[in-house]
Amino acid sequence: MGSVIAPEEVPALAGASGVLADANRFLGELTLYLKPEDRTLLRAAFLFSETAHRGQIRRSGEPYISHPLAVATILTQWKLDAQALAGALLHDVMEDSGISKLELTDKFGKTVAELVDGMSKLDKLEFENKEEAQAENFRKMLLAMARDLRVILIKLADRLHNMRTLDSIRPDKQRRIARETLEIYAPIANRIGLNGIYRELDDLCFKYLHPHRYEVLSRALKAARGNRREVVTKILEGIRTKLAANHIAATVYGREKNLASIYRKMQEKHLSFSEVLDIYGFRVIVQDVPTCYLTIGALHSLFKPIAGKFKDYIAIPKANGYQSLHTTLFGPYGTPIEVQIRTADMHRIADAGVASHWMYKSGDEGFSDVQKKTHQWLQSLLELQSESGDAVEFLEHIKVDLFPDQVYVFTPKGKILNLPQGATCVDFAYAVHSDIGDRCIAAKINHELAPLRSRLKNGDQIEIVTAAHARPNPAWLSFVTTGKARSHIRHFLRTLRFEDSVLLGERLVNQAFSALHQEKPVAQDAWERYLRESGDKSREDVLADVGLGKRLAVVIAKRLLQLAGQWSEDVTPGRKPAAVTIRGTEGMSIQFARCCNPIPGDPILGFVKKDQGLIVHTHDCPVLSKNRADADKMIDVEWDPEVSRLFDVTIRVMASTVRGTLASVAAAIAEAEGNIAAVTMTDGQETGERHNMIQFTLQVANRAHLARIMRSIRQLQAVYRITRVRG
């Protein structure tokens, strides 16, 4: 056979006859489904990879070529095309052997080179820490995967072989790789429907993260096989007999649950191994969908079903395309029996997911439902990437979306959406469309108004109410669960904060010019020279840094004057600059300190805090007094005479314990045109005190408005004392 490798062609493998035999088996029987010219390509790729890795040895002592060969062999079980298999054989040559992408393109074509490049790490770039490097490598791989799904299939096969051969490295490194696999790669395998790989990775991670528990549980499971064989045989015979009596042709078999899932069940339900009765599941494979439902009826008449334990994943498939009927029955001796019923096609998809019917076509024509769902998920990755601030944030969003637990909800038109467990109305709004999420103001769950933070349940019908001028609320970040919602909100806030910071930075720089006796703005060429000198992209970037407290306005102003030729060392900042006017509508770049809650009419002072912008305090704020040493960060600020917004302020009222006091105080506040945002009360009768303590958060226009409210409250006979609460 032309594709077989002769020993003299690879003299370096003379002492590794097992590797050479594996190579010939791969190029022979395992790739018989390919065309002869494709197998010629694979032969060339193997020889090229063997030459590139010659002299490199794995920790296990095997020649390095054994690893890419094993990865390509794993991929043959999905009947992947020659380009993917060549990419697997070559996946480490760029990273470990210095082969360029251009050289791979010349020898094996652009597609193979792109696959290998998608697998190669970013070792040549500088990163601040290991976490950032890992996140950036992962981001690159996922973006390559969004362009071509074969990248992640190669990566998962690569990770599976590495996990299978993890014994030869240090225990601390074993744990690190296993944890990364458990957090990222196993969930991705589950997300795209590769359940066989998911279960094996899950067990291997358990083995290396909890080696002693793995050994104990493994021994217990082997012992249980003999003890429970009789029960399993009885159940299998009962199912087969019942189905035959109902003229249902089916393949029935029992399967042992993987160790990691048994261990998780023991942890979640606080059970010992002997108390976990359902370590075996049973699977029934039938010819078509109607027979699935006939089978469930037959089984429910054989063994009683456990209430609430029936799930129909045929009518509503999982996000990864998985379809089956699930039921749990009371078996012999009270043993719970978990049964999955599916067709042969469903069984193939359940094990291999998107790889189960491999095809590459332009556009979506000919795509299966599984491939369409995977394609949509991959496109959402590109959307997350464009909005995430950095690689670490991107990885955080991806991890959120990889959790397998799902809830299935309906749009008003009956379309089904699957969301992670714990998803809220805001998550639903962003899942429908990013514009709906940005503009949502209210929601209806099953035709009844509900808060936007309400958690959704299976079967809920959701309707989102929008407004043209609405925008995302920062508070949403405290309860949304999906990566899409979180990234959209953060992207909006980042953009808004940048714009607000630029405006504040400009005001602070102009104030610094005023202090340096320079009334006219400097010429544009001074700014251009400053940008070339500092390496900043734009003037807005510099002003945003000033607004966020990352740079001092006076230093920027002084340098600009020097570059413009308008600076003299004799000029000293002597004149007090004009104060920055606070209107209360500046946005996110100006914040009002929670320690003193300033309101219009209070004497105020600004403090520029790094990454937070300008924080406005009252003059006598104790927190501000601790920062007096940073005088260059203190900014004179004053209230605009025409402030139109309302400000939160807290007052504490001591009043008698007679009935109706709270209502009287609330009425007095309303009479003085005050608005109550929140109220808490300590009942004096319960605490043994002679009075009640009532704390109100009020919304007031200014200090005079607050004084009017407090006078109105003081006139009540039941009130002993009233004070304004600072912080």
Q: For residues 448 and 495, give the distance between their C-alpha atoms in angstroms, rounded to a whole number.
A: 34
Q: What is the pLDDT of residue 517?
A: 67
Question: Where are any strands of DSSP class E within 78-195?
Answer: none
- Which of 3.40.50.800, 2.40.128.110, 3.30.460.10, 2.60.40.10 is the CATH number of 212-355? 3.30.460.10
Amino acid (one-letter) located at 25: R
Residue 719 and residue 655 in contact, taking contact as beta carbons nearer than 8 Å: yes
Tokens standing for residue 139: 């981001």
Taken in order 326, 328, 329, 335, the sign of the CA dihedral is: positive
Please tell me which residue in 9, 96, 106, 673 is annotated as part of the active site. Answer: 96
Q: For residues 679 and 476, give the distance between their C-alpha atoms in angstroms, rounded to a whole number.
A: 23
Q: What is the pLDDT of residue 413?
A: 84
Phi, psi for residue 146 in degrees, rounded to 5:
-65, -30
Tokens standing for residue 361: 């076509």
Tokens standing for residue 462: 């959701």
Say which residue the tokens 């060392």 belong to: 569
* Residue 95 annotated in active site: yes
Q: For residues 663 and 574, give the distance between their C-alpha atoms in angstroms, rounded to a whole number.
A: 56
CA atoms within 13 A on the CB side of 153: 31
Q: What is the pLDDT of residue 74?
A: 92
Q: What is the pLDDT of residue 46?
A: 92
Beta bridge partner(s), residue 634? 607
Q: What is the pLDDT of residue 123?
A: 43
Q: What is the tens place of the pLDDT at every residue in 425-472?
A: 999 999 898 899 999 999 999 888 888 989 988 778 899 999 888 888
Tally: H helices and E strands in the chain? 28, 20
Order of strands across the sheet that contains 462-466: 448-450, 440-445, 462-466
Please tell me which residue in 22, 95, 132, 648 is annotated as part of the active site. Answer: 95
Ranges of the chain with pLDDT below 70: 1-3, 14-15, 121-147, 226-227, 277-278, 320, 352-405, 517-521, 566-579, 583-589, 611-613, 627-632, 684-689, 727
Q: What is the tens place of the pLDDT at every residue in 471-514?
A: 888 788 888 888 788 888 888 877 777 777 787 778 788 777 77
Q: For residues 313 and 323, give the distance between their C-alpha atoms in angstroms, rounded to a whole number.
A: 5
Pairing mode, if any, of strands 251-256 and 280-286? antiparallel
Domain ranges, ordered by start, for the chain: 7-211, 212-355, 492-639, 647-725
620 φ/ψ sector (left φ>0, alpha ψ -120 to 50, else beta): alpha
Residues in Cβ contact with 599 at an 8 Å cutoff, skipping those fewer than 6 apart: 647, 649, 700, 702, 703, 706
DSSP 502: H
Query: Hey, what CATH topology would domain 7-211 get?
Result: Hypothetical protein af1432 (1.10.3210)
Q: For residues 426 and 454, give the distance between their C-alpha atoms in angstroms, rounded to a whole number.
A: 9
The answer to whether domain 647-725 has CATH 3.30.70.260 is: yes
Q: For residues 720 and 9, give the distance between their C-alpha atoms in angstroms, rounded to a whole number.
A: 100
Say which residue the tokens 């498939």 belong to: 317
Tokens standing for residue 429: 């709004």
Q: What is the pLDDT of residue 364?
A: 42
Q: What is the tens place of the pLDDT at every residue in 675-714?
A: 888 888 887 655 556 778 899 999 898 999 999 999 999 9
DSSP 553: H
Tokens standing for residue 407: 């809830």
H or E stretch at 137: helix 130-147
- Cα 8–chain centre separation: 51
Beta bridge partner(s), residue 607? 615, 634
Q: What is the pLDDT of residue 363?
A: 39
